[in-house]
Amino acid sequence: ERTLPAARMRAAAFNTPKGADPAGEVALICPSTLASAISSDDPPLVLEATVGCAASGASCFVPGAVLFDLAAVDVYEEDATGSPLPLPGNYNLRPPAALRAALERHGVRARRRCVVYTQCRRHTTAAREAQERGHHHRYRPAASREGVADPIVAARLVWCLAYAGVERVALLDGGMSLWLDGGFPVAGEPSPAAPVADFFDG
């Protein structure tokens, strides 16, 4: 059986309309530009990427940000020690239909701009000690304030969105740290997701 090229696989799996480009545009966006965009007539969908948790544990958020746990789009089956199980497709994106459904649950549409940041933090000495006690997970809640925000978490979601065909995806330059340093407004809690019926609608 022949394997379709990646772009054609995306088009087939997502039922991409004829003539639509299944590959998205990716850019960096600075906090001041995002602040202006949020207050515009056509605000982007802001997503805070998290890992393995329903909430990041953070005490403040970019206004309007929706939490997006990578578990919604990634497959990672592990054994009791935290090691990946040798299963086909493990540590990869979910099947196309499940991936599209996850994006729609989070309000993602192909033509609406998405901006991504994260507050997941890298291991520090304390986190490594927890790992040695059997806690395999690589990231810790932002509330622990250990280490620095790991851009890999946000970059993973950015890549996923672009791969799925979101036309404009941006990574918040400097993340939440630069947002706070700039004195931009914050929200005390994330916004609830507003699901959409069709990834390609609107």
pLDDT digit string (tens) for 62-85? 999 999 999 999 987 878 877 778
* Contact indicator for 66, 49 with CB cutoff of 8 Å: no
Structure tokens, 193: 């997701």
Structure tokens, 86: 């040798």
Residue percentage of the chain with pLDDT more than 70: 71
Would you say how long the chain is, in residues? Answer: 202
Look up tokens 């086909």; give the residue. 88
CA–CA separation, 69 vs 92, rounded Å? 14
> Taking the model in full, what pTM does it have?
0.78
pLDDT digit string (tens) for 129-179? 555 555 444 444 444 445 567 788 999 999 999 999 999 999 999 999 999
pLDDT at 90: 80
* Contact indicator for 102, 73 with CB cutoff of 8 Å: yes
Task: Identify any residues that bridge with 127 across adjacent strands, giving them in sequence order.
Answer: none
